[in-house]
């Protein structure tokens, strides 16, 4: 979770041509599957793709992340550049010590090239037996890492070697034995 303290400030409303004051507010944000689900249900497009988001879409995602009840909508317009940097850093934080070799951290699709939507993530959770409660409230990167750990482990444990792979392995073993025993055959 990320807590932000929004200081009191005046904002100008261009529609009414008036200034109004934003009260000091503390908002708590959570980048989770629930937040992504709320955002995608409104915008009808994947959040986890590589396409840039408009300022309106970004602010709306921050609203979807908010756990704080009854926040004045103008509070989100009062976010500073530093607030946005903190929010971006929080969203990008892996929230785990697990890593995979050859990772491209910017990659937002799975290995099959599918763009991950909230429904696809829920599908993987259910298929893999990951409990929806509390995991759908985890930091999204942590949840995606857990799903990837399941799929990588399953792939490794269930991998069947092809004939070419078996022949390659046997050839390497035979060469190692010949070298160790100083033998030609």
**pLDDT tens by residue, 100-128:** 776 654 444 455 667 788 898 999 899 99
pLDDT at 111: 52
- Single pTM value for the model: 0.69
**pLDDT tens by residue, 34-91:** 999 999 999 999 999 989 999 999 999 999 999 999 998 889 988 999 999 999 999 9
For the chain, the three-class secondary structure string (H helix, E strand, C coil) is CEEEEECCEEEEECCCCEEEEECCEEEEECCCHHHHHHHHHHHCCCCCCCCCCCHHHHHHHHHHHECCCCCCHHHHHCCCHHHHHHHHHHHHCCCCCCCCCCCCCCCCECCCCCECCHHHHHHHHHHHCCCHHHHCCCCHHHHHHHHHHHHHHHHHHCCCCCHHHHHHHHHHHHHHHHHHHCCCC
């Amino acid at each position: 979770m990320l807590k932000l303290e929004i200081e009191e400030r005046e904002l100008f409303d261009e529609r009414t041509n008036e200034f109004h004051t934003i009260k000091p507010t503390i908002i708590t944000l959570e980048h989770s599957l629930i937040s992504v689900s709320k955002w995608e249900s409104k915008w009808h497009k994947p959040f986890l793709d590589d396409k840039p988001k408009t300022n309106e879409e970004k602010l709306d995602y921050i609203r979807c992340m908010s756990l704080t009840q009854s926040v004045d909508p103008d509070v989100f317009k009062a976010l500073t550049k530093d607030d946005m940097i903190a929010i971006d850093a929080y969203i990008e934080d892996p929230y785990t010590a697990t890593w995979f070799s050859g990772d491209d951290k910017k990659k937002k699709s799975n290995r099959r090239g599918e763009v991950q939507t909230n429904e696809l993530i829920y599908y993987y959770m259910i298929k893999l037996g990951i409990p929806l409660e509390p995991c759908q409230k985890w930091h999204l990167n942590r949840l995606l890492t857990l799903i990837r750990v399941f799929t990588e482990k399953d792939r490794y444990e269930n991998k069947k070697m092809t004939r070419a792979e078996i022949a390659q392995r046997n050839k390497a073993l035979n060469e190692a034995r010949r070298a160790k025993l100083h033998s030609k055959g």
